[in-house]
Structure formats: structure tokens, C-alpha cells
Amino acid sequence: MDLITVERQENGAFAFSVRQHEIPSDMSVAEGGQDQGPSPVELVGGALASCIAIMVQRYCDAKEYKDGQVEVSLTMELADDPKRVEAFVIDVELPADVPENRMAAVQKIAEHCPVHATLSNAPRVDIDFTRGDT
């Protein structure tokens, strides 16, 4: 897996880099940021929705379902104590020619995208701190 690095930008927001890509991340103005990019929580939701869209579209392409495109919409239900996403509500629009008897297969594909699997099986998170003066 490629290394992801996060650095503060001149505008006060942060950006993370992976391979040749740089993606900004900031909080909304209401949350004390400058809204220079999606919030970290929005990026998690975007990662989940994108992962599902890619996996389902690949399935539809392989089966040659071409009467429309895969589109994914996601909303998040937030909770406090601790502040977190309590639920992701995901709507997937499929090409019109996906047969009803293949819906369970599509559901399984969506649930097996790596981001969904990661969120469903919480990974260990190790945080190490170093000081900039060492």
C-alpha cells in the first residue's frame, strides 16, 4: 500500500498526498475551518461511496449491463459522545437492465468493497508521536 502523508497548507487547511495525488481537507467555516476541501469525515464517506461505485460498476461492465450508469449517493448520520458517524445511508442506482435475480449478487459485491469491509471490521489504529525537534 502507498504511504499517505498529511501536511498543513499555507491557507491553514491540510492536504494529504498519495502517489502523485494531493487532496485538500478542511473543516467547514461553521466548524472553524476555511472550507478549502472536504472534512476528514466527508472523505471517509466519499471513500466508501466511491469504493462501492467502482466495485458495482466493474460488475455491471463485466456482465454487460449497459442501460444506464452506476450512481451512488451517501448521507451520514452523526452522533456525539464520542463524536462519530453513527450510520452511513447509501443509495445505489443501477443500470436498468440489471435483472432482479442478480440484485443479491450486486449487494454482496457492494458489501465486499475494501472500505465497507474495513468499516465493518474495525482495524487496529496505532498512533505514534514524535517531536519536530528530534
- Retrieve residue 67's grid coordinates: 442501460
Q: What is the CATH number of the domain that holds 103?
A: 3.30.300.20
pTM of the model: 0.89
pLDDT for the residue 111: 94
In terms of domains, do 81 and 107 share one? yes
Q: Are residues 73 and 23 in the same domain?
A: no
Instruction: Tell me the C-alpha distance between 61 and 41, whole Å.
Output: 30
Q: Which residue has the cell 498526498?
A: 17
Residue 100 dihedral angles phi and psi, to the nearest 5°: -55, -35
Pairing of strands 71-79, 5-8: unpaired
- The x, y and z cell numbers of residue 83, run together, are 463524536
Domain range spanning residue 16? 1-38
Q: What confidence score (pLDDT) does residue 2 get?
A: 80
Question: What are the pLDDT digits (tens) for 9-48?
Answer: 988 899 999 999 999 999 999 988 899 999 999 999 999 9
For residue 73, the surrounding DSSP H or E stretch is: strand 71-79
